[in-house]
Amino acid sequence: MQRFIDKVWVDDARVYAKTRDGLVASYPFAMWERLNNASKEQREDYYLSYSGIHWPQIDEDLSFEGMFSHSGLCERTLTEDAVCYIG
């Protein structure tokens, strides 16, 4: 079963990604210097791509694959160069 990213959001301390079937990966901004030092406005200014999240004001990128692989939930095949789902 493939699981696709359904929603991404931030709060004052963390970034979250949720799959369509309800799995959530969450990490504190403190894990990344640029996000940790960013203002609330800068953290809330992000956009999504097929492979992850980009914050243009601070030039920071997080991949969905990285978010979910750290939690042990991501699988990648040899034919994929980026993953938006976990299996």
Could you give the CA distance from residue 53 to residue 67 in angstroms, rounded to a whole number?
A: 10
pTM, two decimals, is 0.72
Three-class DSSP labels, 18-87 = EECCCCEEEEEHHHCHHHHHCCHHHHHCCEECCCEEEECCCCEEEEHHHHHHHCCCCCCCCCCCCCCEEC
**Per-residue tens of pLDDT for the chain, all 87 residues:** 456 788 899 999 999 988 888 888 888 999 999 999 999 999 999 998 878 899 999 999 988 877 776 555 444 444 444 333 333
The type of residue at 9 is W
- One of 1.20.1260.10, 3.30.2020.40, 3.30.2400.10, 3.30.465.10 is the CATH number of 3-86, namely 3.30.2020.40
- Give, rounded to a whole angstrom, the gap between the first and last alpha carbons of the chain: 6
